[in-house]
Structure 1
Amino acid sequence: MTISAENSNVQTADALYYDPYSVELNMNPFPVFARIREEAPLYYNDTHDFYALSRYDDVNKALIDHETFISGKGALLEIIKSGMEIPPGTLIFEDPPLHNIQRNLLSRMFTPRKVAALEPQIREFTARCLDPLVGTGKFDFVNDLGEQMPMRVIGMLLGIPEEHQRRVADHGEATLQGQQALMASGEVFAEFIDYRTEHPSDDIMTELLNVEFTDETGTVRRLRREELLMYLTVVATAGAETTTRLIGWAGKTLADHPDQRRELAENPALIPQAIEEILRWEPPALQMARYVARDTEHYGQTVPEGSAMLLLVGASNRDHRRFPPDGDVFDIDREQHSHLTFGAGTHFCMGNALARMEGRIALEEIFKRFPTWEVDWPNAHPSQTTAVRGWESMPTFVS
């Protein structure tokens, strides 16, 4: 890349280059992010043709400004660039007012009462995953717990019988591995929709089948079958994969910081704030992409309408202006300031309380059984996905 003679805040030199499609770089992008934050707060990549914001205040304002930075053309760079038509019901790829209508419908899944009611079931399932491993000397944060728990929780939330929840979990893993036809159809949920249509119950699936709402045309109606399939697919995939990654990053991060891990083992009351720090420190989604719907000014430069903008959550979460004195330090005891891992504004993650609870329960139950661990690095493998980064396996030796 070349340095612009007009504005060195925008174009960046060869030595400063961020490739969002690099799995290897995305496992530790933070040295590059630190330089972008300070040297090119409005960054432009001419290889992939996108702009990027990296400082906390800039990213936060852009996430909230849904009129300038829209989601309706996709929230991933490759989707924006493809120009593909976004199917209806893809909540994370929609803008108000349509987004607000659909979000209000789905928010009934995540009321505080419904989330809290799941805690005993989640804890019991976690114990079932962990108990057989006691005494074996080994525990994989992802394979033994992280990839199983979140999809099972979605099943619990929807009222899917436990014997069928494994299929939902397998569906989520297939989606992560790029089998897009599965994701697009959502057919894994179809038989449960059909069953609940015939056999109503006191669960969220039945509630969503029967709820009446006013759509964007002013028509009062119920959800169509294909809309409900898409909703469930988005919720299950978006919710499960990020929580899976959170649990994997918790295993690695606390292995790298044994003193803070000891603090948590001795005082489990600190676990909720540790989960917040892990979410800030290693966000599963490093960036959120937006389509620029109108010209916008940043650092003396016009970002033209029609551009793609990456909002670098991973960079903003370590901005020392927001997280003093040094955002690149992992510290479970740091003064709490809200991070952007769950987004902001109209697309703030509906399932944030559920994800936090899953992470908390996971660590509470792990510490009861395994107060210390060391990562088995030869057998730890990064996931090959770039949209949500993390570990495909995080095996450890436990004692």
Structure 2
Amino acid sequence: MFRRLREEAPLYRNEEHDFYAVSRFEDVRAGLADKDTFISGRGAILELIKANMEIPSGVLIFEDPPIHTIHRNLLARMFAPKKIRELEPRIRELTARSLDPLVGAGGFDFVRDLGKLMPMWVIGGLLGIPEEDQESVRDSVDAELRTEAGKPMIKYTDDKEFASGEIFAKYLDWRAEHPSDDIMTELMNAEFEDETGTVRRLTRDELLIYVNVVAGAGNETTTRLIGWAGKVLADHPGQRRELAENPSLIPRAVEELLRFEPPAPHVARYMTRDVEYYGQTVPAGNVMMFLIGSANRDERHFPDGERFDIHREVRQHLTFGLGTHYCMGSALARLEGRIALEEVLKRFPEWEVDLDEAQLSPTSTVRGWETLPVLTP
């Protein structure tokens, strides 16, 4: 369908849900880079934009400059390359803890036994959430993203609730009394100049929302990446064997997985002015959907883009976005993906997916596996 859109309807109009979409790499790339025409401040999900609700301060991914720049700079130091590199031994230890008990069991679930655990431990540890509480926090954040098939995100669009982060309140209160070396403590103590020129700290409500956004972004997308690694490498057993025999190929394989099956295959923007595509004018006030999953396979940019190839020359893909909203956690996601593959292949060089029991996850934001059981020799 993406291929048909690129060739037959590079500007697509959906009357039923009232949005436009572009699917070619150059159109998606240019749109994501144009922060003034395609704004994020009304949301980046179709249902949220249509709900015409006020996005609370601190929802970083749904903000525009200057407030987005201020909030982003507060977080940037916490995802600095040195900090990310220092996490590797801990991530490897947590991954081994997940996988070692499964050796010899005849199979495991890529999502339940690894994909939902490792990212949760990593982001929970970064935030300063006790390990015994991380699972309940992850499940609460995940539930905010779930939908029923064919239905919108009712929680947000009907109740006008969004990312209040109340589940983190007790941790915030604890950290106020017991500071530590974690993101929560750093955010509480960080001083910044806000959009009015006032030097201040984040309010409690802003902190709760901020932490909620970091927890959601840090969990959900990496979980999907690990699930897709299980599915795509099962579909390409020859390339999987190459990776098992030569782990130095794994970083490039992670990049190809991100291109081939992006965990977030689309993003929406509200339009502030008229834009012309292919001889048609899209008026201001519309919603434009950028089809990242299609752009990443556009043969105009990626030769033979429909083919998964771990030897593909690495070129810019759009999985982590572009420009103002480029994903700050991209280095962490790549690190987690690489370690997950290294540790899985070390123990399980062969597997096949039990498709009868595998289930895709229902959300409006990300695409991936809710369960992905595999059988191992």
TM over 0.5: yes
Q: 1:237-289 CA deviation, whole Å, 9 max, x = no partner?
A: 12211111111111000000001001001001111110110110011111110
Amino acid corresponding to residue 363 of structure 2 in structure 1: T
2:371 maps to 393
Q: Report if the CA contact (8 A) 2:125-2:182 is conserved.
A: no
Q: Report if the CA contact (8 A) 1:175-1:237 is conserved.
A: no
Q: 1:185-241 CA deviation, whole Å, 9 max, x = no partner?
A: 312221121111112223222111111000001100001111011011111112211
Amino acid corresponding to residue 385 of structure 1 in structure 2: T
Alpha-carbon distance in structure 2 between the residues aligned to 1:183 and 1:243: 22
**Aligned-partner SS, 1:121:** helix
- Of residues 224, 232, 243, the one that matches 1:253 is 232
- Of residues 259, 274, 292, the one that matches 2:271 is 292
- Relative to the length of structure 1, the TM-score reads 0.89
- Relative to the length of structure 2, the TM-score reads 0.94
2:17 maps to 48
1:366 maps to 344
CA displacement at 1:183 relative to structure 2: 6.4
- Of residues 298, 314, 320, the one that matches 1:342 is 320
Alignment length, in residue pairs?
367
1:264 maps to 243
Alignment root-mean-square deviation, CA? 1.4
2:79 maps to 110
1:63 maps to 32
Matched, 1:322 2:301: yes
Alpha-carbon distance in structure 1 between the residues aligned to 2:266 and 2:362: 16
Alpha-carbon distance in structure 1 between the residues aligned to 2:146 and 2:69: 30
Alpha-carbon distance in structure 2 between the residues aligned to 1:66 and 1:50: 18
Alpha-carbon distance in structure 2 between the residues aligned to 1:258 and 1:81: 43
Q: Report if the CA contact (8 A) 1:59-1:313 is conserved.
A: yes
Amino acid corresponding to residue 97 of structure 2 in structure 1: R
**Aligned-partner SS, 1:309:** strand
1:76 maps to 45
- Of residues 205, 210, 221, the one that matches 1:226 is 205
Structure 2's unaligned 5+ residue stretches are 148-154
Q: Report if the CA contact (8 A) 1:118-1:157 is conserved.
A: no
2:113 maps to 144
More displaced stretch, 181-190 vs 368-377? 181-190
Alpha-carbon distance in structure 1 between the residues aligned to 2:29 and 2:7: 17
**Aligned-partner SS, 1:378:** coil
1:209 maps to 188
Give the fraction of aligned pairs with identical amino acids, expressed as a percent. Answer: 66
**Aligned-partner SS, 2:374:** strand
Structure 1's unaligned 5+ residue stretches are 1-31
Q: Report if the CA contact (8 A) 2:184-2:211 is conserved.
A: no
**Structure 1 runs of 4+ off > 3 angstroms?**
176-183
Matched, 1:273 2:252: yes
